[in-house]
Structure 1
Amino acid sequence: MSIGALDAAAAYGRVLTSSAPKIGEAEGPGAASPAGGGFGGMIENFVTEAASSMRTAEAASAKQVAGKGDLIDVVTAIGAAETALDTVVAVRDRVVNAYSEIMRMQI
């Protein structure tokens, strides 16, 4: 499953609106900072979201195996978990690639 540009842009937009301070808000020692803040906070949110969706998919699968769940819910949960994991892996690959490029730069 590949991640399209619109999917990545939508995920980035969700993260920005959920954790970034609004324009005009004070950023300083007295200001309330978002969880983790900046790029590290964004990555933390991605990983937390991916882990949460995987737990949801696992719970839906367990319900289905026990005969108490709906197959459509299982497929939907697994699809969401797969998309979240693909997003985390794509971001990781981009970060590693950027780090490699920076390390190759001559001073």
Structure 2
Amino acid sequence: MGSIPAATAASRYAATALGQPGDGTPAASGEGAQASGFGALLERAMSATVEAAKASDRAAMEAIAGGGDITSVVTAVARAELALQTTVAIRDRVIQAYQDVMRMPI
């Protein structure tokens, strides 16, 4: 399996989290221009990860109460797990890049 560059993975994840096409190009927004930059990307990714975890919890609680089906619970948990794995991978790449920069000779 091939490796996807971190920037491409991050932009695809952000696009998916925002409900945009997965080609990495942001779709036009009717609310005005969104904040851009790496910090904004990380903020949106973290928000999407938290929302996926909350949706997973809601689906599980609904199933426990007898109101939901197991398919929706498994789907929600899988999405939350994927979002968390992606966020951790991005964090690891950022830390690795920071450490590489710190090791550079002046």
Q: For the superposition of Structure 1 and Structure 2, which TM-score range results when normalised by the shorter chain?
A: 0.7 to 0.9
Instruction: State TM-score, norm by structure 1.
Output: 0.74
Q: Which amino acid aligns with 2:104?
A: M
What is the number of equivalent residue pairs in this alignment? Answer: 92
User: Structure 1 residue runs of 4+, over 2 Å off?
Assistant: 8-11, 15-20
Identity %: 40
The residue number in structure 2 matching 1:17 is 25
The residue number in structure 2 matching 1:29 is none
Instruction: State TM-score, norm by structure 2.
Output: 0.75
**Residues 10, 90 of structure 2: 8 Å contact kept:** no
- Within a 5 Å distance, the mapping from 1:1-107 to structure 2 comes to 5=4, 9=8, 12-13=11-12, 14=15, 16-18=24-26, 33-35=33-35, 37-107=36-106
Shift of 1:17: 3.2
- How far apart, CA to CA, are the structure 2 residues paired with 1:78 and 1:18? 27
Structural RMSD (CA):
2.7
- Structure 1, unaligned runs of 5 or more: 21-31
Cα–Cα, structure 1 residues 66 and 54, in superposed 2: closer, same or farther, change >3 Å? same
**Residues 19, 34 of structure 1: 8 Å contact kept:** no
- How far apart, CA to CA, are the structure 2 residues paired with 1:82 and 1:51? 11
- Structure 2, unaligned runs of 5 or more: 17-23
